[in-house]
Each structure stands twice: as structure tokens, then as C-alpha cells.
Amino acid sequence: MEVKLAEGWKSRLAPEFEKEYFKNLTDFVRQEYRVGRVYPAGANIFRALDACPPERLKVVIIGQDPYHGPGQANGLCFSVNAGVPAPPSLQNIFKELSADLGQPIPTSGDLTRWAEQGVLLLNAVLTVREHQAASHQGKGWELFTDAVVHTIAREKSGIVYLLWGAYAQRKAGFVDRERNCVIESVHPSPLSAHRGFFGSKPFSRANEYLVSQGKEPIAW
């Protein structure tokens, strides 16, 4: 698998690429792309890491797996390309953003602007078959993205972790809360958003912490 990602990540994660699980994962993913429709496009599999190099990292947001509908997944969790209607969870993220910061709901669901400011939008699983949610879970991606989160936790402090839902909270459950800011709530899915995501003010709280650390806040 041709791994296109920022050099800072490539050097840190090089040991993972040599492990047996990653070689098996590579074989599986290549075969999946050969025989069917898989998202995101191959060039965007590692886009979350490529768009947010470690030296720029300020905020970590963890999703589960990519959108599985045509034209949706673009390699950043919760994000869709400009012109693509925002899926329900992203609609709720934007509703809370607007209520929290008193600004208009964004017109584009493309979150590249967040990534470029240091927000790592990392799905736990980086590929999916069309119309088959969770179809690439348990194939090795979770081990790889665990390595990413462990690397961040080991090397960096003063990072904001926005952990929405039990899955994300488990994924980063080991993060040192004394050295970082961990903001948790239920998932923004329509099934759960009314049970504590709305009103949680994650965006203003994240920026308050970043400012307290002497960092530029995110222009959400």
C-alpha cells in the first residue's frame, strides 16, 4: 500500500508498516479495492494524518469508520466534500457549533479547514465497503490507529481530545488527563445527541484550553 502521509507521521509510524498485521491489512485492502467499491478513494486513506502533521497537532477527534455512501467519505472523520449534503451526525455537530460559538451553521461539510489548523480527524477504521457500515472493522486498522493515538499521548501534552461517544472514549481512555484536556460527551448521532452532546460546548471549551496553553484557538 502506498502510504501518503506527512513525513512526521511516516517516521513515527514506520515500525507499524513492518508488522505482520499491517502487511495482512494491506493485502486485504488492496483486494477490496480491486473487487468492489471501497471508500474513501485510495489516495485519501491516510488523509487525516497527511492533512495534520504532528508538529501542527492541537486537537484530536476520533470517529469510527468512514461514511459508506457514494461521494461522502473524504478521509477525515465526520467530513464530506464541499457540495455533499452533511450527514445527520455532522448536521448535529454544526448545530452545536453554532449554538456554542454564536456563529452561522457552516455551509460546507468539508472539514479540511479544521485539519489545516491542527485538528486530527481520525477514524479508527480507515476504509469501508460501499453501503456496508463497519465492513472493514477487525481487519487491523484499529491496531494502526491505536498506535497513532498512543504516539500522540506519549510524545505530546497540551492536546485537546474531543471524545464523542463510548467508542472514542475507549480508544483514548489511557490519555493523561493531567497533561491534556479531555472533553467527553455522547455521540452527535441523532440517536444520542439530545442526551448530552447538545449543550456540551466542546468548541468553546477546546479553544479556552488552547489559549490557556499559549496556542492559537481553532477557527471552527
- Residue 171: burial class (beta carbons within 10 Å; 0-12, 13-18, 19+): buried
Cβ neighbours of 2 (radius 10 Å): 8
Nearest to 173 by CA among 217, 8, 155, 182: 182
Whether the Cβ atoms of residue 39 and residue 67 lie closer than 8 Å to each other: yes
CA angle 66, 200, 126 (to 5 degrees): 15
Q: What separation, in Å, do the N-terminal and C-terminal C-alpha atoms of the chain show?
A: 33
Q: Which of 65, 100, 146, 176 is catalytic?
A: 65
Whether the Cβ atoms of residue 80 and residue 87 lie closer than 8 Å to each other: yes
CA distance 196 to 205: 15
* Active-site residue, 65 included: yes
CA distance 220 to 217: 9
- Classified as helix, coil or strand, 150 is helix
Nearest to 48 by CA among 35, 33, 65, 31: 65
Q: Identify the residue whose cell numbers are 475507549.
A: 170
Give the catalytic positions in this structure.
Answer: 65
